[in-house]
Structure 1
Amino acid sequence: MRILRYAINVTIDGCCHHEAGLPPDEESMRFWSAEIERAGALLYGRVTYEMMESAWRRPESGVWPDWMESWEIPFADTIDRAEKHVVSSTRSDVGWNAELMRGDLEHEVRLLKEQPGDDILVGGVTLPLRLADLGLIDEYVFVVQPVIAGHGPTLFAGLRESIPLELVDTRAFRSGATVLRCRPAVPIDATGR
């Protein structure tokens, strides 16, 4: 069965707005490129998909925009070519190497996890909350930024039950950000609970 891994940048006070932490640098972009590269597929909700598509989809000209730094291009190339699955009840279609997922979320994600292939990487805020409530996330990767945002959305607001985690790996970046890789302390059984 494929592993469903949730990965996100977060501030020390739990803010997960994409502009609340430190701006990306070469080291963090290499990390995110590697996370996407080792995944067989990306899983996004509509909002995250649209945000990522607007920033990282290769222009029709085939030339990356001038605002993009040379060290951002490997990330852009990696996410652009990645297989994507989009959970949405409002979109009628998706492009950008994506497949639309509709219907019962738990059923659809279980089917995706049962397909052969590498890990599935999920991003965003709302969708991962629903997946955590369903007990479907096998690994959590938090890139903790050394910033106190003091405002903005926080991770897992509204989670029905706490999820004890076991820290399995850490990594520090020169910027002061720290990667915390965790798994549920109680293994997920065959039913996902």
Structure 2
Amino acid sequence: MRPLRYAINVTLDGCVHHEAGVAPDEESMRYWTAEMERADAQLFGRVTYQMMESAWREPASGEWPDWMREWEIPFARAIDRTKKYVVSSTLTDVDWNAELVRGDLRHAVEQLKQQSGEGLTVGGVTLPLALADMGLIDEYVFVVQPVLAGHGPTLLAGLRERLQLELVDRREFGSGAVAQRYRPVRSQP
């Protein structure tokens, strides 16, 4: 069974809005590229899928946009080629190596997890909250940015029950950001 990982940047005050943190630097982009390459597939809600596609999809011309720095291209290539599953009740069609996920969310994600492979990664705000409430996330990867946003959506806001996590890995970046990897502490039967 492949694990489901929730991976996201977060500020010190818990904000997960993509514009509330700091712009990625070369070191953090290498980290996120490695995380992308650890997964066989990405699981997105509609909003995150559309945001990621608009930023990271390789243009038909094969020429990356001028705003993209050379050290961001490996991440763009990694996400571009990765299989994507999109949970949406409003989209009727997806491309970018993607497939729509419909119906019972728990059942659909359990089926994806049962496939062989290295893992699935989920990002965003709304979908991870639902998956955490269902107990389907096997690992949490947070890159905590040294920023206080003061506003915006916060990490897993509205979680129905407290989740006890154990720290399994920690890495400090030169920018002051800290990558932290946690696994849920499962209660023993």
**Whole-angstrom distance in 1 between the partners of 2:87 and 2:121:** 13
Q: TM-score, normalised by structure 1?
A: 0.96
> Match for residue 86 of structure 2?
86
Please give the alpha-carbon distance, in whole angstroms, between the structure 1 residues aligned to 2:64 and 2:188: 41
**80 and 71 in structure 1: CA distance in 2 versus 1, 3 angstrom threshold:** same
Q: Quote the offset at 1:88 in angstroms.
A: 0.3
Secondary structure at 1:39's aligned position in 2? coil
Residue 187 (structure 1) shift: 5.8
What secondary structure does 2:40 align onto?
strand
Runs (4+) of structure 1 exceeding 3 A deviation are none
Deviations 1:107-137 (A, max 9, x none): 0000000011111011101000000000000
**Distance in 2, Cα, partners of 1:23 & 1:172:** 17
User: 2:130 maps to which residue?
Assistant: 130
> Which amino acid is 1:16 matched to?
V
Counterpart position of 2:37: 37
CA RMSD, aligned part only?
1.1
Report the residue type matching 1:22 in the other structure: V
SS of 1:109's equivalent?
helix
Kindly provide the CA deviation profile for residues 24-77 of structure 1, in whole angstroms up to 9, marking residues without a partner as x.
010010011000101010000000000000000011111111111011111111
Distance, in Å, in 2 between the alignment partners of 1:106 and 1:78 is: 27
Equivalent residue, structure 2, for 1:25: 25
Q: How does 1:75-114 map to 2 (within 5 A)?
A: 75-114=75-114
- Which residue of 1 is the match for residue 170 of structure 2? 170
Rounded to whole Å, the distance in 2 between the matches of 1:115 and 1:76 is 25
- Looking at structure 1, the residues matched to 137 and 36 of structure 2 have their Cα atoms a distance apart, in angstroms, of 16
The 1:143/1:187 distance shift into structure 2, 3 A limit, reads farther
How far is the alpha carbon of 1:188 from its aligned partner?
9.0
Identity %: 71
- Aligned-residue offset at 1:20: 0.7
1:155 deviates by: 1.0
Return 5+ residue gaps in structure 2 as ranges.
none
Contact 1:139–1:182 (8 Å) recurs in 2: yes
Partner of 2:3: 3
Measured at CA, do residues 81 and 187 of structure 1 come closer, stay the same or move farther in structure 2, by a change above 3 Å? farther
Q: Aligned letter for 1:56?
A: W
